[in-house]
């Protein structure tokens, strides 16, 4: 999967779902009706209500008339079932009454007093959908994969399927029929089932044969569900019967499936990883339960009234649990490395934006709260000048406050690494240099592992000199002709091993797996390299940390040369002294 293209595509789909959610509530199509209510009657449908403002009423359609469904296309059956289309959309019906048949054509018309009221249901739907979809869009943009594609399929359940289908009811029959089936399957039926493929691949793809088997089972279940729901979406309007029992059973089954796979995912984690993913796993359960309750409550399985409305709204809001938990876990524990880090530039950018917002707010308030324009201009000028005078005073103090609170750990780590870089100029032995790179650096930056490889002669392999988190059996040496060494020679800069697809079966696995390689160079000659693992919170070292490690390795290269030169000078001096004495 091409990462940039796939990420943009998945993010675009997610944002399109958000746009459809908003449009489905505010587009006027849903309030343009044919005004005729039907119930199944054998192989046909019987009229049970006719709106007095409809064209059907003017053409003499009455309750008790029978509509021949066999004369309708799948698209027209969808239009009849949803009873909505753009104004002027024709619908030709074959009516039977007392053995006599006649054909009429009715058109959709705007309902009287078709003013949309912004109620609590719409507010809670839009709030929950916006939060969920924006978080998911960020995740899939940065980490496109089969797992996040399944997350997009789950996000497709944000809008109401009926309201989205209505938006496309003015299309030609073939396209509207296809979109009706697609929306019924993707929006109404599959979202909860799509959580299963995501769970089994969270927070990383399956590694063991058992995990891969579990993933195949989850994918197979989603495929079977998709086939079953496609059949339902086609035959439900054709037969003009609701499959409510099937829908209810599938909802319960999907909830059970999510709970089971979540339990499996929890069981396969342990220790620190379990602590990092626990919030997201809990979000799976809460979201699945809320989705199930919402689906059943909104399907009129509960009694009507305020109690039922409260249950629907509460269940709708609780569906945000998974995206919020996922967002928290990404920012706090970096369970998915989406390449997003809070840094000084971003924080100060936010500060600048806040300044602009404050000044704009002052302008808005003064021009509206003060009717006299001269007074408004004077107040605005005084407040803006006062704000500008205090801005420089606030800037330095705010910067120090941010460093102390937000970036305290980073600031402290930078200082400690800087001390090590300075100390390397006075290293008395190569072992002290190895200690700074392979032991001190991972301890200060809270990395899972680190290793230093160097060689003593031109044609010798690179031998592991020191390591943290590596066992004695892990890669004692790396060939001078290996892809890793050749890449470091050519680039002479830090590389992320996953980005260049470099792996070595002898490297450690799991948390200690190397993620970053940094060359140790002297005058464009590769004399060694360092391998660093991910942070203990699961994230790849961010760019500022990579820069620190690169500077440390650059200082280590200089120290290796100086220590070696000092050793040779001492050796030469000792040799010269012995010759003089002889």
When pLDDT is averaged across residues 35-51 and rounded to a whole number, the result is: 86
Question: Residue 223's CB: how many other CB atoms inside 10 A?
Answer: 12
Closest of 79, 84, 136, 133 to residue 110, by C-alpha: 84
Q: Is the pLDDT of residue 54 over 70?
A: yes
Mean model confidence pLDDT for the chain: 79
DSSP one-letter code for 174: H
What CATH number has the domain bearing residue 45?
A: 2.30.42.10
Domain identity same for 215 and 328: yes
Indicate whether 323 belongs to any domain: yes
Angle at 373 between CA 369 and CA 379, to 5 degrees: 65
Indicate whether 480 belongs to any domain: yes
Indicate whether 159 belongs to any domain: yes
Least confident among 67-81, 115-129, 189-203: 115-129
Closest of 141, 445, 203, 446 to residue 330, by C-alpha: 203
Indicate whether 358 belongs to any domain: yes
Q: What are phi and psi of 160, to 5 degrees?
A: -85, 125
Domain identity same for 476 and 500: yes
d(CA 556, CA 558) in angstroms, rounded, equals 5
Domain identity same for 315 and 264: yes
Greater confidence, 413 or 227? 227
Q: Are 14 and 139 in contact (CB under 8 A)?
A: no
Domain identity same for 65 and 205: no
Check residue 341 and give its pLDDT: 44
Greater confidence, 324 or 333? 324
Strand partners, 50: 36
Strand partners, 196: none
What single string gives the DSSP state of each residue in 306-362? Answer: HHHHHHHHHHHHHTTHHHHHHHHHHHHH-SS--S----HHHHHHHHHHHHHHHHHHH
When pLDDT is averaged across residues 184-210 and rounded to a whole number, the result is: 86
Maximum average pLDDT range among 117-131, 388-402, 539-553: 539-553
d(CA 540, CA 561) in angstroms, rounded, equals 30
Confidence tier at 193 by pLDDT (50, 70, 90): very high
d(CA 170, CA 108) in angstroms, rounded, equals 10
Q: What are phi and psi of 532, to 5 degrees?
A: -125, 140
Indicate whether 518 belongs to any domain: yes
Measure the CA dihedral 41/46/48/52, to 10°: 170
Alpha-helix residue ranges (DSSP H) falling in 204-270? 209-239, 244-268
Q: Is the peptide bond before 49 cis (omega within 30 degrees of 0)?
A: no
Range of the domain at 387: 344-405
Domain identity same for 208 and 125: yes
Domain identity same for 482 and 366: no
Greater confidence, 278 or 168? 168
Q: Is the pLDDT of residue 159 over 70?
A: yes
Q: Are 324 and 283 in contact (CB under 8 A)?
A: yes
pLDDT tens digits for range 345-368: 555 555 555 555 555 555 555 554
Map tokens 């799509």 to a residue: 194
Closest of 41, 33, 90 to residue 67, by C-alpha: 41
Domain identity same for 98 and 197: no
Q: Is beta strand 514-522 parallel, antiparallel or unpaired with respect to 495-496?
A: antiparallel
Q: How far apart are the first and last CA of the chain?
A: 73
End-of-domain residue from the set 110, 143, 169: 110
Least confident among 8-17, 160-169, 188-197, 518-527: 160-169
Burial of residue 165, with CB atoms counted within 10 A of its CB: 0-12 exposed, 13-18 middle, 19 or more buried: buried
Least confident among 106-120, 437-451, 488-502, 562-576: 106-120
- Count of structural domains within the chain: 4
Alpha-helix residue ranges (DSSP H) falling in 39-189? 55-58, 74-82, 120-142, 146-155, 161-167, 173-183
- CA–CA distances in Å: residue 529 to residues 413, 443, 447, 480, 521: 22, 18, 17, 11, 8
Strand partners, 97: 100
When pLDDT is averaged across residues 97-103 and rounded to a whole number, the result is: 87
Indicate whether 577 belongs to any domain: no
Number of H helices, E strands in the chain: 20, 13
Sequence-distant (6+) residues with CB within 8 A of 521 are: 492, 527, 554, 557
Strand 450-454: give its sheet, edge to edge: 477-478, 462-468, 450-454, 525-533, 514-522, 495-496
Domain identity same for 417 and 528: yes
d(CA 560, CA 565) in angstroms, rounded, equals 8
Sequence-distant (6+) residues with CB within 8 A of 180 are: 74, 75, 78, 165, 168, 233, 237
Q: Are 56 and 37 in contact (CB under 8 A)?
A: no
DSSP one-letter code for 188: I
Check residue 354 and give its pLDDT: 56
Q: Are 133 and 18 in contact (CB under 8 A)?
A: yes
When pLDDT is averaged across residues 225-242 and rounded to a whole number, the result is: 84
Indicate whether 552 belongs to any domain: yes
Q: Are 430 and 513 in contact (CB under 8 A)?
A: no
Burial of residue 45, with CB atoms counted within 10 A of its CB: 0-12 exposed, 13-18 middle, 19 or more buried: buried
Q: What are phi and psi of 170, to 5 degrees?
A: -85, 0
Domain identity same for 219 and 269: yes
End-of-domain residue from the set 376, 405, 434: 405
Check residue 294 and give its pLDDT: 78
Query: Which tokens go with 283?
Result: 């979000």
Distance of CA 493 to the CA centre of its chain: 30
What CATH number has the domain bearing residue 490?
A: 3.30.450.40
Check residue 371 and give its pLDDT: 47
d(CA 240, CA 41) in angstroms, rounded, equals 9
Domain identity same for 273 and 377: no
Closest of 64, 31, 27 to residue 46, by C-alpha: 64
Indicate whether 581 belongs to any domain: no
Greater confidence, 416 or 118? 416
End-of-domain residue from the set 378, 405, 432: 405
DSSP one-letter code for 84: B
Q: Are 222 and 190 in contact (CB under 8 A)?
A: yes
Domain identity same for 289 and 415: no
Domain identity same for 468 and 559: yes
Burial of residue 575, with CB atoms counted within 10 A of its CB: 0-12 exposed, 13-18 middle, 19 or more buried: exposed
Q: What are phi and psi of 477, to 5 degrees?
A: -155, 160
């Amino acid at each position: 999967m091409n990462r940039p293209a796939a990420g943009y595509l998945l993010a675009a789909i997610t944002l399109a779902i958000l746009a459809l959610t908003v449009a489905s509530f505010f587009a006027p199509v849903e309030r343009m009706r044919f005004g005729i209510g039907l119930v199944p009657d054998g192989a046909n449908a019987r009229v049970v209500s006719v709106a007095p403002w409809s064209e059907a009423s003017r053409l003499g359609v009455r309750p008790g008339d029978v509509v021949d469904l066999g004369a309708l296309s799948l698209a027209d059956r969808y239009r009849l079932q949803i009873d909505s289309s753009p104004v002027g959309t024709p619908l030709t019906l074959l009516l039977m009454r007392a053995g006599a048949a006649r054909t009429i054509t009715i058109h959709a018309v705007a309902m009287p007093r078709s003013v949309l009221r912004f109620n609590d249901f719409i507010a809670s739907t839009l709030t929950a959908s916006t939060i969920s979809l924006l978080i998911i869009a960020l995740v899939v943009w940065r980490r496109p994969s089969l797992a996040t594609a399944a997350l997009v399929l789950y996000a497709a359940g944000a809008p109401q399927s009926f309201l989205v289908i209505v938006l496309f009811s003015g299309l030609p029959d073939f396209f509207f029929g296809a979109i009706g089936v697609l929306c019924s399957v993707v929006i109404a039926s599959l979202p909860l089932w799509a959580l299963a493929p995501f769970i089994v691949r969270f927070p990383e793809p399956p590694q063991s044969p058992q995990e891969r088997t579990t993933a195949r089972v989850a994918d197979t279940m989603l495929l079977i569900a998709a086939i079953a729901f496609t059949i339902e979406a086609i035959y439900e309007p054709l037969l003009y019967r609701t499959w409510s029992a099937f829908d209810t059973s599938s909802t319960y089954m999907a909830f059970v499936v999510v709970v089971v796979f979540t339990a499996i995912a929890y069981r396969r984690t342990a220790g620190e990883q379990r602590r990092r993913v626990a919030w997201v796993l809990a979000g799976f359960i809460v979201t699945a339960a809320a989705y199930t309750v919402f689906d059943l409550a909104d399907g009129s399985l509960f009694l009507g009234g305020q109690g039922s409305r409260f249950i629907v709204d509460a269940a709708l809001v609780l569906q945000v649990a998974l995206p919020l938990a996922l967002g928290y876990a990404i920012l706090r524990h970096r369970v998915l490395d989406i390449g997003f880090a809070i840094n000084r530039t971003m924080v100060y950018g936010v500060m600048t934006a806040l300044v602009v917002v404050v000044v704009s707010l002052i302008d808005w308030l003064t021009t509206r709260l003060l009717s006299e324009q001269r007074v408004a201009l004077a107040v605005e000028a005084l407040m803006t000048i006062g704000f500008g005078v205090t801005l420089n005073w606030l800037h330095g103090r705010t910067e120090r406050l941010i460093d102390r609170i937000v970036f305290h750990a980073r600031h402290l780590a930078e200082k400690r690494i800087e001390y090590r870089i300075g100390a390397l100029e006075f290293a008395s032995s190569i072992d002290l240099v190895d200690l700074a790179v392979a032991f001190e650096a991972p301890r200060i930056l809270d990395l899972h592992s680190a290793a230093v490889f160097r060689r003593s002669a031109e044609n010798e392999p690179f031998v592991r000199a020191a390591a943290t988190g590596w066992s004695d059996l892990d890669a004692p040496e790396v060939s001078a002709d290996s892809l890793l060494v050749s890449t470091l020679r050519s680039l002479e800069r830090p590389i992320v091993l996953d980005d260049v697809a470099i792996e070595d079966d002898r490297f450690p696995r799991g948390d200690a797996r190397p993620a970053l390689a940094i060359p140790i160079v002297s005058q464009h000659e590769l004399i060694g390299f360092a391998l660093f693992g991910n942070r203990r919170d699961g994230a790849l070292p961010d760019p500022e940390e990579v820069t620190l490690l690169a500077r440390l390795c650059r200082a280590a290269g200089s120290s290796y040369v100086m220590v070696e030169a000092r050793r040779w000078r001492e050796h030469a001096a000792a040799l010269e002294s012995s010759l003089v004495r002889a």
